[in-house]
Amino acid sequence: MKILVAEDDRATRLILSRALGSWGYDVIAVSDGEEAWQVLSREKMRLLVSDWEMPRLEGPDLCRRIRQASMAYVYALLLTTHKDSDRIVEGLDAGADDFITKPFNPAELRARLGVGRRILDLQDELALKVDELERANGQLAKIAATDPLMNIGNRRSFELAIGRVSQKAAREESRYGVLMIDIDHFKQVNDRYGHAMGDRVLSAVAAALANAKGPSDEVFRYGGEELVMISPGQTAASLHDLGERLREVVASLRVACQDGEAIRVTASLGVAVAPAGSARWEAVVEYADQALYASKNAGRNRVTSIPR
């Protein structure tokens, strides 16, 4: 383990370095606090033995600087000739972890450094646990936001995403479109082929739409056999074109059954463009939904735009 020694007295520095080296430490020795600070800023050091009185930067000031910096925890042991408790309190307040008085007893120094290493080990374990927790939290957040069957965002993440997109559009005075996509006669697929096949159709449609969308578009499961896509930067005409393209993607999909039959489905779409600068997304979704109903009523497998 690496250890940094800061001591301006040459003889003490040599004694310290030799002792620490003989205990297996990898020693870097410097002669003042400023130099020690430079080493700490450059190299990852976890253990510091520092003299109190040194030119340029004293031990307590070095400790203070370390505690204010955002670096991995450095266990700092101050060497001092002061034995009065006011001074010890001053050093501890500055951020030192422990003290040893000069002239030091080597066995005591070694034992105190052992305590420091135990604390550093605990720090490392804690950091590992925090990492694990953060990773687990990230996974949970992803699971909570994803529809497990379609493997795309769920209704909850749709609402978060459209909130973000609509606020950005309001700030930038730009437009975005919403596309509601509903698989036609899906109940018949379930009735005829069973729910397992129905699920395969749902995931195939979701995968095909996720694959066909533009790079800044986002697709979500809205509910049941209904999906919703958010598409930033659209005009009414370009959004209608995108809707047509997605309709064709669904219509050309073939989902293979076990008996070799290929299930084909179609989808009805309702699309709406949010007026430039509008932050209220609920109305746009409502328009897209109305347009979807119009597509259903007009015979399905079609795209209806609002405004027309």
Which positions lie near Mg ion, rule CB under 5 A?
8, 51, 53
Shortest distance, position 55 Cβ to Mg ion, whole Å? 8
Nearest distance from C-beta of residue 60 to Mg ion, angstroms: 12
**Residue 288, amino acid:** A
Q: Which is nearer to Mg ion, 82 or 300 (CB)?
A: 82
For the beta sheet containing 303-306, the strands, ordered from the edge strand earlier in sequence to the opposite edge, are: 146-147, 152-153, 218-223, 226-232, 176-183, 267-273, 303-306
CB of 16 to Mg ion, least distance (A): 12
- Give the amino acid at 119: I
Bridge partners, 24 (sequence order): none
Q: To the nearest whole angstrom, how small is the minimum distance from the Cβ of residue 32 to Mg ion?
A: 9
The answer to whether 90 is a known catalytic residue is no
Q: Which of these is catalytic: 173, 225, 244, 261?
A: 225
- Residue 53 or 241: the one with the smaller Cβ distance to Mg ion is 53
In the bound complex, what is the minimum distance in angstroms from residue 8's beta carbon to Mg ion? 4
Distances (CA, A) of 194 to 15, 34, 110, 187, 252: 82, 75, 73, 10, 21
| Nearer to Mg ion among residue 82 and residue 296 (C-beta) | 82
Q: Which CB sits closer to Mg ion, 53 or 98?
A: 53
Shortest separation between residue 72's beta carbon and Mg ion, angstroms: 26
Q: From residue 118, give the alpha-carbon distance in Å to each of 93, 98, 176, 192, 213.
A: 21, 13, 57, 67, 54
**Closer residue to Mg ion in complex, CB, 54/204:** 54
- Nearer of residues 51 and 225 to Mg ion, judged by Cβ: 51
Give catalytic residue positions.
225
